[in-house]
Amino acid sequence: MADACVPAPPEKAAPSVAELSDDEIFAQIVAGKLKEHALEATLGDCARATRLRRRWLEKEVGTMPEGLPHEGFDYESVLGACAEMVVGYVPLPVGVAGPLTVNGKAYQVPMATVEGCLIASARRGMKAITSSGGAQAAVLKQGMTRAPVIFFPSAMRAAALKSWIEEPENFATMKGWFESTSRFAKLKSCAVTVAGLHAYPRFVCFTGDAMGMNMVSKGVNNVLEQLEQHAGFDDMRVLGLSGNMCCDKKPAAINWVEGRGCSVVVEATITGKVVRETLKTTVEAMIELNTAKNLVGSAMAGAVGGFNAHAANIVAAVFIATGQDAAQVVESANCITLLAAANGGEDLHISCTMPSIEVGTVGGGTILKPQRACLELLGVAGAAKDEPGAHARALAMVVAGAVLAGELSLLAALSAGHLMKAHMALNRKPAAAPAPAPAVNVE
């Protein structure tokens, strides 16, 4: 009698992509079966995805420089938040300048830079400020902006939108639409500019301790939908959520005049003794230079917001260290530096007015451990518990205070003729000693 049929063993399931070896996965990338931009989602391992993407890049360009590191980085924190197509990271030196006393509190300010002399110069300015009693700073206003561009069939319809928004009752309705999208966002104002068939409503919004671009964009998008559906503007056409009157990451007079982010003014009075002994110059020389350089020179250059010596230098270094959007240095470095004699001409009064410092202590790059550590160093990491927006305001005032110090030190160096000497000492490596001459056999 024939044996009974024995059922075949179940087929072994094919291994998942993540179970394959690196070589097998790389072969699939090369064959186009796996997308190099989606490796994190496919493998569930961000560090492995970065390693394999480096192999892919090496094949694409013919080399993968060893100098670009990739090990020892928390790639999970980057995923979906800070960067895509990651192949490594760029280490930057971070120094501290201080103590800087602002509103009675002393700070050691973290600065990430590759420019020698910058931190040393800022530290000298901070020493002058702190030894003269410190700086005082105030936030004049706080609000992030977004300005979409809307197209209408006629200029009169664009004007009608402006009139509608300017009615207090309508603005209150619009404010409700905006604030329904977030627990923290508050719509403060909206001014509409009309250019023919185009309308540009510039929304100004409070965003707590976040820099707030995403928060504002979400609220504005909802307002636009409601205007079209429920306010009688069904003939409007939104051409773009940003119409460049915001104005984000571009030099613009509107940020200089109206402000964006935190508008800050900071001042200090430097004693004549400190000017002479620490800054190595005179009150008169610094005032004369500031007028000729920062006011007249900048005016002759047609500057917008550039009435300063090097505010962007300080802003960029603090921004990179604390996880801010580095591209927003463009408008955040708007600054006018003013110097005047004080106390009968014996002392020096200096102020910096900065109308558009765009900072946050939550979200964006502030979630990365090193950047958060720098915020912790300043005591402003995360959201302020008792007063929303307080950490962002404090950070903005520290940035402005650091700029004040940088302006003070550079103007002093220029007026005393010390700038090039300092840069040659701290911004240049000494030349390598010449190699010894080969021995000559004279036998």
Whether 407 shows a pLDDT value over 90: the answer reads yes
For residues 159 and 12, which has the higher predicted lDDT (pLDDT)?
A: 159
Confirm or reject CATH 3.30.70.420 for domain 148-240, answering yes or no.
yes
**Burial track 83-103 (b if 16+ CB lie within 10 A, e otherwise):** eeebbbbeeeebbbbbbbbbe
The CA–CA distances, whole Å, from 132 to 113, 271, 347, 348, 426 equal 27, 6, 10, 10, 26
Q: Catalogue the active-site residues.
A: 115, 249, 325, 423
Residue 247: cis peptide before it, omega within 30 degrees of 0: yes
Beta-bridged to residue 182, according to DSSP, are none
Cα of first residue to Cα of last residue in the chain, in angstroms, is 105
Whether 359 shows a pLDDT value over 80: the answer reads yes
- Which residue's structure tokens are 């955040």? 332
How crowded is residue 56: how many other Cβ atoms within 10 Å of its Cβ?
Answer: 18
pLDDT tens, 15-39?
A: 789 999 999 999 999 999 999 999 9
Comparing 43-47, 141-145, 438-442, which segment has the lowest mean pLDDT? 438-442
Select from 51, 22, 39, 112 the least CA-distant residue to 79: 39
Summary mean pLDDT of the chain:
93
Angle of helix 283-290 versus helix 390-416 axis, rounded to 10: 110
CB 13 within 8 A of CB 39: no
pLDDT for the residue 194: 98
| Alpha-helix residue ranges (DSSP H) falling in 13-154 | 22-30, 39-43, 46-61, 118-131
Whole-number Å distance between alpha carbons of 56 and 48: 12
CATH of region 94-141+261-426? 3.90.770.10
- Per-domain residue ranges for the chain? 17-77, 94-141+261-426, 148-240
Q: At residue 206, what are phi and psi to the nearest 5 degrees?
A: -85, 130
SS3 content of the chain, % helix, strand, coil (to 5): 45, 20, 35
Token duo for residue 258: 């109206």
Token duo for residue 196: 């023919």
Mean pLDDT for 120-128 is 98
